[in-house]
Structure 1
Amino acid sequence: MDGVGKVYLVGAGPGDPELITQKGLRLLQTCDVVIYDRLASIGLLKYLKEDCVKINVGKIVGNHAINQEEINRIIVEQAKLHKRVVRLKGGDPFVFGRGGEEILTMEQHGIPYEVVPGITSSIAVPAYAGIPVTHRGASQSFSVVTGHTAEREGSLPEDFKHLAKLEGTLVILMGVGNLEKIAATLMEYGRPPSTPVAVVANGTTIWQEEARGTLQDICQRVKEADIKAPAVIIVGDVAAVHFRSKEEFALSGIKVGVTGTPNITDKLQQELEGLGAAIEVISQSTLQVYKDNREFDEALKSIEAYRWLVFTSTNAVELCFGRWKELQLDFRRLAKLRFAVVGKGTEEALLKQGFRADFLPSQANAVALAKELGALAKQGGDRLLIPRAEQGSEELASILEENSLCFDDIKIYDIQEADRELLPDAGQLRKFDYLTFASASGVHGLLKGMSEEELEQLKAVDMVCIGEATGQALEEYGFVHLLMAHEASASGMVQRILESVQEKERLL
C-alpha cells in the first residue's frame, strides 16, 4: 500500500531496559515514532532519535486512560504519517500483550508489520527473584495464565479449576487483585494449602520486592509487605527456591536516582552498578545540537586566530571535535593552540581526542576557570574560543569581560530536559537513598513545579551535586545539607556517595 509506513511490534522486556533484544534496540534507534505503554521501560527512550515522535498510551491498573480501541486507531494513524513506527510493549507482544488485536487492526487497514519478540516477565521476573520455573526434582513443566478476565472485573478465567490439578509450576500474570480468589480456588480444586507461593512486584527493576508463603497464608504475607501491581505470582515447589548469590559490594542495597544527559548518566550507571548499587535514570536530558551554526563553523575555520580553546563540559569537547571532523579540517592546524578545561572529567574527554589540557583551574567551576585562566591569558593578550551550552555560566563571560579579555563565547548546543509527564513524583523519589545532579538545569528540570510539601518529602533523600552551581540550584528549593563532589565528574559523585555510605555505617 503506497504511502503507508511499517509498524514493528517490539517487546521491551520485563522492566530492566538492558533486557531488550538487539533488534528491538536497533529499531528504537532508527524509528520515526514510538508508541509505548506503562510497562515498557522509560529508560529505553534515551535511544530514540532527536526528532522521534513519542506517544505515551500507558495504562495504569484501575485507570485505563486510553483504551485498546483508541491505541489501535493511533497505530493506524501513525503508520499513515510515518515510514517506521515502533509499537513498544512491555514483556513480549504475544504474551497477554494484546499484540494480536493490534495486528488484526493493521491487517484490516493493509498496514505492513513485523513482530520482534521480547523477554516475557513470566520467566524473567521469577529468575530475578532466584526462582527457576523448572527445576529437576521440583518441576518439569510450567503454565502461564492471566489472573483476571477482561469480561468481568474481579473474576477468574474458567480454566483455573483445571489448572489446580496440573503438575508443575503455575505462573500467573496480572493476578494480584484477585490473589485471594486465586489461592482459594487452587486449594478448593486440589492444590495443598502448604504449596509454596511467591509474589514478585516490579520485577527486574530496582524496585523489585517480593512476598513468599503458601497458598494458605500468601494473602496475609502480601498485605504485610504492601505488594502492589504489577506483580507475578509463582505457585509450586520452585517458589520455595532462592537461587541468589550472597556476594556483597560496597553499595549493595543502595538505591540511586540519576539525572543528566546520557554522557553523564551512562558513566554514573556503570560505576555505581559496579559497586553494587541499584540505579534508575529518573530524568534523562537530551542535547539539541545547533545545526548550521555559521558562527561556530567560521571560528573553527579561523582557529589560528585563537590562542586558547576553552571547554566547560565533556559534551562541548565531543561536539567541537566532531564538527572539526565533519568540516574535514586538518588537525595539524591545532599545533599552536592551547587547551583549557574546567575539571577532570572534561580533561579526560579531551585526552580521548588526543590532546592534553594545558590549563586546569584549582577548583572545578566556571568562576575559578574564568579568574585563573583570565589572569594567564591577559598577560599575553590572548584570544579565547569558548564553545559551550546555552545554559552555560553567565559568570564566566562577565568575569572575562571585566578583565577586558578578547573571547568568542559561542553556544553550540542546548540541554532539553525530560518530558515532565515521564518524571516520577515526590512519593516515588523519596524511596531513593541518593539523587544525583550534574547541572543546575537538571535540578530545575526535576524539581520545578513541586509544592513545598513535596519538596519537604525529598529532604529525607541525600542530594549529590557535581559542583557549586548545581548546589546553588538545589539551595533555591530549600536543600541545604548537600553532598558536594570533591571532583566535578561522574567519578567524583560516585566517590562522594561511597564516603556518605561509609560515614553512615560508622554511626550505626
Structure 2
Amino acid sequence: MAGTGIVYLVGAGPGDPDLLTIRGRDCLALADVVVYDSLANPVLLDYAPEAAERIYVGKQASSHAMEQDDINQLLADKAGEGKTVIRLKGGDPYVFGRGAEEALVLRKEGIPFEVVPGVTAGIAAPAYAGIPVTHRECSSVITLVTGHEDPTKTESSIDWSSLAAGTGTLVFYMGMKNLPAIASRLIEAGRSPTTPTAVIHRGTCPAQRVVEGTLENIVQRVKDAGLTPPVIILVGQVASLRSELAWFENRPLFGKTILVTRSRTQASEFAKQLQKQGAEVISFPTIRIVPPDSMEPLHAAVERLKDFDWVVFASVNAIDSFFKAVDEKGLDGRSLAGCLVCAIGSATCDRLRERGIEADMVPGRSTSRDIFDALLERDAIKGKHFFLPRPDIAPPELPDKLRNAGGTVTEVEAYRTLPADPDPAVLERLRTGDVDIVTFTSSSTARNYASLVRAGLGSLPSNITYVSIGPETTKAAIAEGMTIAVEAEQHDIDGLVAAITHELGSRQS
C-alpha cells in the first residue's frame, strides 16, 4: 500500500516509567500519533515529539473510552494516512493485552507493524512487592492466568483442577472483581486454603499497596483494605518471602505525593531524584521559560566579553540563553577566555562543564549576600566589571551591592519567566488533599503557584507541606501566605532533595 505508515505495538511496562525498554523509548521518539491506554504511565508520553497527536483509548472494568473494534480501526486508519503510530499498551502487548487482536487486524489491512515487548506486570509487580515468582526451594513453575475471561465465552477455558493440583506460583491479571471466585475455585479444586496469597495494587508505582493473606482469608482482607483495580493476584509459597525481601516500600519517600512546580523543561531531573527515593511526583509547572523580547542586548554583550572581568551565572537557564546567543553570533566557549566565571549551584556548574568550562568561583550558598561576600573575600569587586545574564524578574540586590562596593555591572535580560497554564487534574488533586508536599525552586514558582491555585480553587489548600530551595524563595512564599516547613541548606536541586528526604522521609531501621 503506497504511502502507508507503520504501527509499533509497544509495551509500556507495568507502571514505573523507568521500566520502559530502550526500544520502546526510541519508537516513541518517532511518533506522529500515540494511542495509549489507562495502564500506560502518562509520563511516557513526554518521549514523543511535542507535535505528536495523543489519543487516549483507556479501558477499565466499567468504562471504555473506546471499544476494541474502534481502536483496531483507528490504528489502521492513522497508519493508512502515512503516519507512524505508536500503540502504547500497559505491560506487554501480547500478555493479556489484546495486542494480537490488533496485529491481526493490521495484517488483514496490509499495514506494516512491529511488536516491542514490555515488562509484564505479573513478573514486575511481585518483584517490587518483595516476592520472587520462582524460588528453587518452593516454586519451579509459574502460570500466568487471566482473571477476567472474555465475557462472550459460553464457558471458562481455565482448568482449575490443574491449577490447584500443582505447587507452583499462580499469577492472575485483571482479577479484582473475580477474586472471591478465584479463591473459592482453587480451594474447591484442591489447593490448600492456607496457601500464601498476595494482592498487589498498582505494582511498581509509588501508590503500590500490598495485602497479604491466604486463600481462605484474602478476600476479606482485601475488602477491609479497600483495594481497587488494577491489581495482580499471586498465589503460592513464594508470597511468604515478602517479609524478608520487601524493598520498594522501604524507600524514605514512599507513599509521599510531591508536587514539582518547575518549568516542564527543568523538572525531569528533579522528579527522577524524588522518584528514586520512592515519591510519587506530579508535574505542575507554574512557570514557562521563554526568550527575551529581543536578543540584541544579549548578542551585543557576548560580542564584547573581553570588556568584562566576571560573568555571573545564577541558573541553568542563564547559561542556556547565554550560549544560544554565543552560537547565534558564530562564537564558542573560547569567548570567555580572559573572564572569570562565577556559577551558582551544582546544576549550573554541571551545565558549564558540558560546555567545557570550569567555574572559577562557586559560593557555598546561593543568596545575593553569599555571592557578594564570596567576591568581597577575594577582593574581586572594586574596579571590576561584572556581566549578569539574568531573568526579567531578577531581584536587584546583587547588582546593587556590587555597584555600592565599587564594581561596574552590566545586566542583560537573558530570558523571561511567564506563568504557565494550570493543569485542571492537578488542581483537583490539590483540592481533594491528594498532595503531601509542594516544592518551590525559585521565587517565581512560589508566586505563580499561589496565583494559579487561588484562581483555580479560590484559596490555598491548608493541608500541604511547603518546601523551599533557599531564603529568597522562602521569603516569596511567606509573602504569599504560605508557611515553609523545610528550607534546603544547600541551595540547589541536590540539596532540596536531601532536605526533603531527611526532614520529611520515613526513618528506616
TM-score in same-fold range (> 0.5): yes
Aligned counterpart, 1:497: 500
Q: 1:239 to 1:25 in 2, by over 3 A?
A: same
Q: Which moved more, 1:255-264 or 1:132-141?
A: 255-264
AA at the equivalent of 1:484: E
Q: CA deviation at 1:11?
A: 0.5
Give the conservation status (yes or no) of the 8 Å contact 1:339–1:357: yes
Paired residue type of 1:331: G
**3-state SS of paired residue (1:140):** coil
Residue by residue over 1:410-432, the C-alpha shift from the partner in whole angstroms, topping out at 9 and shown as x without a partner, is 32787967855578823886464
Structure 1's unaligned 5+ residue stretches are none
CA–CA distance in structure 1, aligned partners of residues 425 and 78 of structure 2: 21
Q: Which residue of 2 aligns with 1:193?
A: 193
- Alignment check: 8 A CA contact 2:253 2:501 kept: no
Change (3 A) 1:58 1:213: same
Q: 1:106 to 1:181 in 2, by over 3 A?
A: same
Distance 2:380 2:155 in 1: 76
2:244 is aligned with 1:251: no
Q: Which residues of 2 match residues 480-495 of structure 1 at below 5 A?
A: 480-495=483-498
Of 483-492 and 347-356, more deviation after overlay is shown by 347-356
In structure 2, the residue corresponding to 1:170 is in which secondary structure?
A: strand
Deviation at 1:246, TM superposition (A): 7.4
Offset, 1:126: 1.5
Q: RMSD of the alignment, in Å?
A: 4.3
In the TM superposition, residue 288 of structure 1 has moved relative to its aligned partner by 6.6
Letter in 2 for 1:188: E
- Shift of residue 384, structure 1, vs aligned partner: 3.0
1:438 aligns to what?
Answer: 441
Question: What is the CA deviation profile of residues 421-470 of structure 1, one whole-angstrom value per residue up to 9, with x for unaligned ones?
Answer: 578823886464x44332456554696355368823x33xx322213454
Q: Distance in 2 between matches of 1:439 and 1:97?
A: 43
Question: Distance between the aligned counterparts of 1:193 and 1:301, measured in 2?
Answer: 79
Shift in alpha-carbon separation, 1:416–1:427, aligned structure 2, 3 A: closer
Aligned equivalents of 1:442, 1:71: Cα separation in 2: 40
Tell me if the contact between 1:195 and 1:236 (Cα under 8 Å) persists in the aligned partners: yes
* 1:9-53, Cα deviation, whole Å (9 max, x unpaired): 111111111111111122223433322222112332343334444
SS of match in other structure, 1:183: helix
2:414 equivalent in structure 1: 410
**Range 352-361 or range 365-374, more displaced:** 365-374
Counterpart of 1:16 in structure 2 is: 16
Q: Is contact 1:258-1:268 (8 Å) kept?
A: no
Match of 2:457 in 1: 451
What is the deviation of 1:92? 0.3
Matches of 1:24 and 1:424 in 2, distance apart? 31
Return the offset for 1:321.
Answer: 3.7
Map of 2:393 onto structure 1? 393
Q: Whole-Å Cα distance in 1 between the matches of residues 477 and 72 of structure 2?
A: 43
Q: d(CA) in 2 for partners of 1:250 and 1:210?
A: 15
Rounded Cα–Cα distance in structure 2 between residues aligned with 1:283 and 1:350:
26
Matched, 1:425 2:424: no
SS at match of 1:239: helix
Instruction: Report the Cα offset of residue 335 of structure 1.
Output: 1.5
Aligned to 2:231: 231
In the superposition, relative to structure 1, how do residues 420 and 290 fare at CA in structure 2: closer, same or farther (>3 Å)? Answer: farther
Give the secondary structure class of the aligned counterpart of 2:212.
Answer: strand
Distance change in 2, residues 1:368/1:130 (3 Å): closer
Contact 1:37 1:59 in 2 (8 A): yes
Equivalents in 2 of 1:248, 1:231: separation in Å?
A: 17
Instruction: Name whichever of 393-402 and 17-26 sits farther off.
Output: 393-402
SS state of the match for residue 425, structure 1?
helix
Q: Deviations over 1:80-118 (max 9, x none)?
A: 556432221110011111212322343344332111000
Q: Residue by residue, what CA displacement relative to the aligned partner does 1:376-413 show, whole Å, maximum 9, x if unpaired?
A: 9996484635155xxx5253499769979543213278
Partner of 1:123: 123
Q: 1:344 to 1:117 in 2, by over 3 A?
A: closer
Counterpart code for 1:159: I
Relative to structure 1, the CA distance from residue 300 to residue 202 in structure 2 (aligned partners, 3 Å threshold; closer, same or farther) is same
Work out the CA distance in 1 between the residues paired with 2:259 and 2:435: 13
Partner of 1:212: 212
What displacement does 1:238 show? 2.4
CA drift of 1:177 comes to: 1.7
Inter-CA distance 281–366: structure 2 relative to 1 (3 Å threshold)? farther
Structure 2 letter corresponding to 1:333: S
Match of 1:89 in 2: 89
My pick for the range that moved more, 228-237 or 321-330, is 321-330
Q: Distance in 2 between matches of 1:108 and 1:291?
A: 53
Mapping for residues 321-400 of structure 1, pairs under 5 Å = 321=323, 324=326, 329-351=331-353, 353-357=355-359, 364-365=366-367, 380=383, 382=385, 384=387, 386=389, 388=391, 392-396=392-396
Within a 5 Å distance, the mapping from 1:295-334 to structure 2 comes to 295=296, 296-297=298-299, 299-304=301-306, 308-318=310-320, 320-321=322-323, 324=326, 329-334=331-336
The equivalent of 1:159 in structure 2 is 158
Q: Quote the offset at 1:284 in angstroms.
A: 6.8
Cα offsets for 1:478-507 (capped at 9, x unmatched): 5314311123201221332254259x97xx
Identify unmatched segments of 5+ residues in structure 2. none
Q: Deviations over 1:174-216 (max 9, x none)?
A: 1112211221222223323222211111111222211111111
Q: 1:331 to 1:244 in 2, by over 3 A?
A: same
1:454, 1:163 → 2: CA distance?
A: 58
Q: Is the 8 A contact 2:343 2:362 kept in 1?
A: yes
- Identity over aligned pairs, percent: 35
Contact 2:274 2:281 in 1 (8 A): no
Deviation sequence 1:232-289 (CA, Å, 0-9, x none): 001223232325167998937573626235655425644873xxx3133311759777
Name the stretch that deviates more: 38-47 or 362-371: 362-371
Aligned equivalents of 2:322 and 2:215: distance in 1? 62
Inter-partner Cα distance in structure 2 for 1:313 and 1:202: 37
Alignment of 1:143 with 2:143, yes or no, is yes
**Cα 1:378–1:51, aligned 2, differ >3 Å: closer, same or farther?**
farther
Conserved 8 A contact 2:381-2:402: no
Residue 290 and residue 9 in structure 1: after superposition, are their counterparts in 2 closer, same or farther (change >3 A)?
Answer: farther
